[in-house]
Every structure is written in C-alpha cells, then in structure tokens.
Amino acid sequence: MSDIRDSYAKMLAQNPAPAGVKFEAVDMGGVPGTLVTPNEVKTDAVVMYIHGGAYIVGRPDGYHGIGGNYAKMLGARVYMPDYRLAPEHKFPASIDDTLRAYEWLLEQKIPANKIAFSGESAGGAMVVSVMVAAKSKGLPLPAVGSSISPWANLEHTGASMSNREGLDPLNSKPVLDILARAFLGDTLANHPLASPVFADVTGLPPILVQIGENELMLSDAMRLATHLADNRVRVNLEVWPAMFHAWHFYATMLPEGQQAMESSVRFIEVGLADAKR
C-alpha cells in the first residue's frame, strides 16, 4: 500500500503549488488538516477542499496545487482535512472525519453561508455525502459545492463504465471495483453515504458537477446531477469534451484544466454571494 501511495503522490506533484500562498498544519477538531492562505485574502468566506484518491490514497500535502489555486483565485482561505484512509480505516471513516472537520469550521464561528465545499473523485462524491451527513445531524449546510469528477456510484452500473473503458487513462473498471471493495468492506455499494446517487439530497445547496466526456464515471456523474435536480437542488452539470478524470490537476499545462478551475471558482463565488442574501 505504501508503494501505491508513493506513486500517487508523485503523480500529484505534477501540479505544483502556485506562488503567493502559504501552507500550515491545522487541527480540525481532532482531524489533522492543512490551511492554505493566499497572500491577498479578499473574503472571510472559506473553502473546505476534500481530496480524492479512491478513499485509499492521497494526503493534503499532495494537493498543494489545486488547494493553492483555489485559495489564490478566490482570495480565500482553504482548509483540506486529512481524513483516515482505507483499507486501514474503511467506510465510513473518511466521511466521519470530513464531517467532523466541517463541524470544527462551524465551531470557529465561521457561518455556514460563508463555507463552500469542493473536491474531486472520491472527494467529489464526499462534497455531496458530507452535506447529506451534516443534514442528518441537524447542522447548517454550506453555501455551495463544486463536485469534480465525482465517484458517485460504487455499484459502477453506468454505461460509461464499459463504453469509456480505455479512453480514460487514469481509471479502469476492474481496478475501480477492487478499490471500492477495499473502501466498503462489508458495506453494500448502494449505501447512500458511499454512493450519493442513492442519498436523500433534498434541501442541499447549489452544486456544480464537472465531468470529462471520456471518463468512466461520466454516466454516474450525470445520474448524480439528475438526482440532485429531481430533488429540487440547483445543479449545474458541465460535461467537458475529450477530458479525462480530474483533468483540473493539469491546469498548468492543459488549457481545459485552467478553464474548468475558473468555472468552479465562478460557481463558488456566485453561490457564496447568493447565500449572503
């Protein structure tokens, strides 16, 4: 497992931190995390960025690129919780930790309407599932969410799981099946907090769903967007032509990555502004 995590960290290193931001360790109510602060803070709103990695790899220190870009582009502080990973800590440890990190933000007297969620892949799914968990606990919900390439259905029943096989360089269905089982343990794949396409999403704030046309997760991301809309959640679905899983990581070398980041930032800015009214 350590070799897999090391390889993933090397891949993430291709998206370096931008200039003009600083990083520091923070204790988010018992959950370790990273605080990203831009040199120019323009707002008292904050972002909680939930990293991906199939729930088994990834640490906030590998996400300095995307976390730093959000901080710099929004002029806002970004918090990245370092949730526990499977298979050592199976479902629902990652969701429990991220929910605790959100509770901690609220305990710091940051109003919910000044908090945005964003995340990619497993983190993109957790953007929704942590909101659902927060709602179940009676917590106020954040203002807005941005879900990038969400791994939203661990049953892997979407058509793109087969008809996009070989087009997405970062994923394959057999590997995703193994990763899902490592995360779930004995939990069924249709558990609503593991697969938010099955969750009660009524009352959630506006959510942006971004997905690449060549992704195995395309169909299930579209299903998530439809599920949100059917439950009267304001949702924007962006399907990016010819893009692959979490292409935002390559924003420094891929124009579409930068453009997708800019679109996410705009959606967050509008959501935060609307929540003030």
Catalytic residue among 64, 120, 215, 248: 215
Q: Give the start-end residues of each E strand in the chain.
A: 21-28, 31-38, 46-50, 77-81, 115-120, 144-148, 207-212, 235-240
Q: Give the whole-angstrom CA distance, residue 29 versus residue 52.
A: 21
Chain centre to alpha carbon of residue 61: 15
* SS3 label, residue 34: strand
121 in catalytic set: yes
Catalytic residue among 94, 118, 121, 160: 121
* Exposure class string for 252-269: b at 16+ Cβ within 10 A, else e: eeeebbbebbebbbebbb
118 in catalytic set: no
Catalytic residue among 51, 227, 245, 248: 245
Q: Which residues lie below 8 Å from residue 163, measured CB to CB, with a gap of 6+?
A: none
Q: Among candidates 9, 16, 6, which has minimal Cα distance to 253?
A: 16
Cis previous bond, 111, omega within 30: no
Q: What is the set of active-site residues?
A: 121, 215, 245
